[in-house]
Amino acid sequence: MAQALTQEEEQATHRFLHEMNAWTSFHSVPPLSWDVAVKFLMARKFDVVRAIELFHSYRETRQREGIVRLNPLQEPLLSELLSGKFTVLSVRAPTGASIAIFTAKLHHPARKNSREVQHTVLQALFYLLDRTVESVDTQRNGLVFIYDMGGSQYSNFELELSKKILSLLRGAFPARLKKVLIVSPPVWFRVPYSIISLLLKEKLRERVHMVSMNELLEHLPPQCLPESLGGLLPWDPGSWNCLLLPARAGKPDPLDDVVLVLAEGQRGSVHKPGAGSMTLSELKEHTNSLGRRGIYEEYEMIRNEKPEGTFSAAMAVVNRDRNRYGDVPCLDQTRVKLKRVNWNDRSDYINASFMDGYLQKNMYIGTQGPMENTFQDFWQMVWEQNVLVIVMTTRVEEGGHRKCGQYWPLSPESAVLYGGVTVANKAAENHQHYRKTSLEISTRQGRERRQISHLQFLSWPDFGVPTSAAALISFRDAVKKEQRRLVNDLGNQWKVPAGGPPIVVHCSAGIGRTGTGTHMGRKHKDSMWSMGKTIQNVLSFCHFIENIDSCKSGP
């Protein structure tokens, strides 16, 4: 236990962890630690319900603003941290509270892209405050926030940023906010402050004080203030902030995975429980009442529904040899389009379609098994869509039939050029039900190299379906873990969507096992679901879907 707590506080911490780690387990992210729990509980005086609400507000704010995978030694964050714009003093208030200062005159939103500047400021703010509240003294005694407007002009002021900072301090950060001191506010600040104050509850509004330099000394003694604010401390924000850099530099934030869990209502889910939705027990009862014949009839009824859309690109003469099966076209409305590098390119077509995941739009790209004449197209798509994970649910050959081309180099330390993309096999690992191959891809110029994971599921029988879903569920978890790892490795290079770029999933035709794999997560997240809706979602990206019998041994 990191700090001494009363018996009641310990009990509250156990309750918080019990509730929150049930949530983290449900979302397949690491559990919260004792120290994290105490930090949020301290901010809400160990009221468990309010602490949980605060945690989710904090998480959703970081997610909304893209405050994830921060590296304080990378630009532009490092320069922002050392600029003096925002700093945490090395001394405390007489009450033990930490003192943070935002110097308005150092903020210049008009000089650069305002949105980028704002994003970097919020990153610095979160980083420094996060480091500050790791201190037990700060957790217990709170935070005093000084907004120094001395010498600032209207061009230094940004209403949107001020509202975000105040909203953060108001209810989305694990710190007891003791006071907000607005020092030397210009006359023009009265109007924007009247707007900002509407965000504040009366209790917090009472803690906001607009003061002159002399009046500031009524709130804090000179030994707790820098010389620029009439105090005795030499102004040295670079040194003060450097004290907060080493402890986490180069280490991943343990809350990054938790922050990336999409909030309810923001999940981009294509599945909403409706009139046809059933619980698992209701589904079991429904299928028993239908019987085998009834299930076939219901499936055929869904299958025969005409999709909304056209197939012009897939059926064009110039593209026909790019389809593995002539009766498996993809819709114009959802297909992946390749970039045409020059006018000699015959088409932007590849038999591949975007698919919505349960929690994210275009979470997957469902595609056919690459053929020798489409290897180049496949790797062009992987490069252009920033793909990190490729999921293969078939073997190259099954039952004496060719199911897919050998589109990646098999031997470790070997490399093959596919059009403009070089694919190198760096290593291979054999697991119980799948094989993982680590690939590195680069363009002809070679200036950028990317790491790709190729996961091939090997436990689907040549005929029929797996006797148990356990292997496929384990494989799904491995895919999710690999995607999360590679997204984290990108750091600030990847912002949104939070779940990362699309995952490529293919079998042979791209509609049997592929559809199964991409919809595996549905029941994992839902207490209610619709079988018909799930099948229709597969139909939405591909016109043809195999009949039930062929799905059992399908590609």
Residues 467-523: tens digit of each pLDDT: 777 888 888 889 988 998 898 788 767 766 767 899 999 987 555 555 555 555 544
- Give the largest Cα separation in the chain, rounded: 88
Residue 148 and residue 95 in one domain: yes
Residue 228 and residue 304 in one domain: no
Nearest to 99 by CA among 1, 221, 260: 221
Is position 300 within any domain? yes
Does position 212 have pLDDT exceeding 70, yes or no? yes
pLDDT value for 112: 58
Does position 340 have pLDDT exceeding 90, yes or no? no
pLDDT band (50, 70, 90) for residue 126: confident
pLDDT value for 430: 94
Is position 50 within any domain? no
Residue 181 and residue 298 in one domain: no
Does position 203 have pLDDT exceeding 80, yes or no? no
pLDDT value for 111: 60
Residue 406 and residue 493 in one domain: yes
Residue 239 and residue 284 in one domain: no
CA torsion angle 37 40 42 46 (round to 10): -70
pLDDT value for 74: 82
Peptide bond into 497 cis (omega under 30): yes
Residue 240 and residue 323 in one domain: no
Is position 219 within any domain? yes
Q: What is the arrangement of strands in the sheet containing 208-211, beginning at the earlier edge strand?
A: 86-92, 98-103, 143-148, 177-183, 208-211
pLDDT value for 551: 41
Residue 220 and residue 299 in one domain: no
DSSP secondary-structure letter at 495? -
| Residues with active-site annotation | 507
Nearest to 550 by CA among 318, 303, 322: 303
Is position 92 within any domain? yes
Does position 338 have pLDDT exceeding 70, yes or no? yes
Cα–Cα distance between 376 and 330 in angstroms, integer? 19
pLDDT value for 90: 86
Which of 102-111, 194-203, 459-468, 518-527 has the largest mean confidence?
102-111
Quote the number of domains for the chain: 2
Average pLDDT over residues 271-276: 52
Residue 114 and residue 230 in one domain: yes
pLDDT band (50, 70, 90) for residue 424: very high
pLDDT value for 505: 93
Residue 238 and residue 310 in one domain: no
Query: What CA–CA distances, in Å, run from 297 to 246, 264, 304, 464, 540?
Result: 65, 35, 11, 20, 20
pLDDT value for 65: 79
Residue 167 and residue 312 in one domain: no
Q: What is the pLDDT of residues 45-86, one digit of tens each?
A: 998 888 988 898 888 888 877 787 778 888 888 888 888 888
Average pLDDT over residues 457-469: 76
Query: What CA–CA distances, in Å, run from 514 to 353, 367, 391?
Result: 11, 8, 9
Please provide the average confidence, as pLDDT, over all residues in the chain: 80
Q: Write the DSSP string, 218-285.
A: TTS-GGGSBGGGTSSB---HHHHHHTTSTTTTTS--TTHHHHTSPPTT-S--S----TT-B-HHHHHH
Q: What phi-psi label fits residue 226: left (phi over 0), alpha (psi between -120 and 50 degrees) or beta? A: beta
Of 244, 269, 289, which closes a domain? Answer: 244
pLDDT value for 553: 41
Which of 19-23, 100-104, 297-301 has the largest mean confidence?
100-104
pLDDT band (50, 70, 90) for residue 540: very low
CATH classification at residue 117: 3.40.525.10
> Mutual orientation of helices 48-65 and 114-132 as an angle, nearest 10°?
150
Is position 180 within any domain? yes
Does position 114 have pLDDT exceeding 50, yes or no? yes
pLDDT band (50, 70, 90) for residue 204: low
Is position 60 within any domain? no
Is position 201 within any domain? yes
100 vs 540, residue with greater confidence: 100
Give the HSE-up count for residue 551: Cα atoms under 13 Å, Cβ half-sphere.
16
Range of the domain at 235: 74-244
Contact 19, 37 (CB under 8 A): no
Average pLDDT over residues 124-140: 86
430 vs 128, residue with greater confidence: 430
Residue 501 and residue 352 in one domain: yes
Give per-residue burial for 371-395: e unless 16+ CB within 10 Å, then b.
Answer: beebbbbbbbbbbebebbbbbbbbb
Does position 300 have pLDDT exceeding 90, yes or no? no
pLDDT band (50, 70, 90) for residue 144: very high
pLDDT value for 252: 62
The percent of residues above 70 in pLDDT, for the chain, comes to: 79
pLDDT band (50, 70, 90) for residue 10: very high
Which of 4-8, 265-269, 273-277, 405-409 has the largest mean confidence?
405-409
Residue 232 and residue 317 in one domain: no
Burial class from Cβ neighbours inside 10 Å (0-12, 13-18, 19+) for residue 237 reads buried
Does position 452 have pLDDT exceeding 90, yes or no? yes
CATH classification at residue 352: 3.90.190.10
Does position 546 have pLDDT exceeding 50, yes or no? no
Does position 267 have pLDDT exceeding 70, yes or no? no
Q: Give the tokens for residue 319.
A: 């593209």
3-class DSSP assignment, residue 95: coil
Is position 40 within any domain? no
245 vs 206, residue with greater confidence: 206
pTM confidence score: 0.52
